[in-house]
Amino acid sequence: MDKKISRSELKRRAIIGAAMSEFQTKGFKATSMDDVAKRAEVSKRTVYNHFSSKEALFSAIILEMMALLCAFEYFTFSDDIALEVQLEKLVDIEVEQLKSQAFMDMARVIIAEAVHSPELIQGAMDEFNKQETPLNTWFQAALEAGALKGQSHEIIVTQFVGVIKAFCFWPQLLQGAAFPSDEEVVAIKKTVVEMVLKQYS
């Protein structure tokens, strides 16, 4: 049975959502806590009860993105399942993440501020990069088991995700392109899996 969400948590989520909308529309520097409170339909005091500053709100958005990345149902590496099958499933999971409107909205906010206020996100991104994501865990296990060969699972993950995002993230974020069709996703998946197998198996 799902745990009932408290009123406080509902307000917190509303504030984060409002902050994302305001940051997207006006940018971080031009957004005030009053703007966030008005859009979230809560008092300014309520906003400050949850977040001590705009910087804290921005950090919360990054943490929400991290949580979203880890919320999808991953699986552990297995010697008993064909490597190709596992890689295909990993691609499917990544594609589903990138299709999420919540993920795209957060990405737009974070990337915009990375350009205009790089110091704002440096600390949060340092924490982000320390996180051991399920994808990193899978590739590290595959290397340790000898199923893949390479010096660093981080390099393989960067290439793996990079190819997927070249079709399923950057064109949508920067050009407003439509998300690839199911048939196109199948072709992308084949490309990614073949790349990993040819270079690292």
Q: What is the pLDDT of residues 21-61, one digit of tens each?
A: 998 888 888 999 999 999 999 999 999 999 999 989 988 88
Q: Where in the chain is the domain with CATH 1.10.357.10?
A: 68-200
61 neighbors 24 (Cβ within 8 angstroms)? no
Average pLDDT over residues 152-178: 94
Q: For residues 184 and 194, give the distance between their C-alpha atoms in angstroms, rounded to a whole number.
A: 15
pLDDT of residue 78: 97
Alpha-carbon torsion angle 113, 135, 93, 148, nearest 10: 130
CA-wise closest residue to 99 among 158, 160, 162, 167: 167
Average pLDDT over residues 77-104: 94
Tell me yes or no: is domain 1-52 CATH 1.10.10.60.
yes
Q: What percent of the chain has pLDDT over 70?
A: 94
CATH H-level superfamily of 68-200? Tetracycline Repressor, domain 2 (1.10.357.10)
Instruction: Specify the higher pLDDT residue, 127 or 199.
Output: 199
CB atoms within 10 A of CB 36: 25
Q: Where in the chain is the domain with CATH 1.10.10.60?
A: 1-52
Instruction: Specify the higher pLDDT residue, 147 or 1.
Output: 147
Q: For residues 83 and 187, give the distance between their C-alpha atoms in angstroms, rounded to a whole number.
A: 18
Write out the two tokens for 68: 């979203």
Q: What is the pTM of this model?
A: 0.80
Which helix (H) or strand (E) covers residue 31, if one does? none
Q: Which residues contact 141 (CB under 8 A, 6 or more apart)?
A: 76, 77
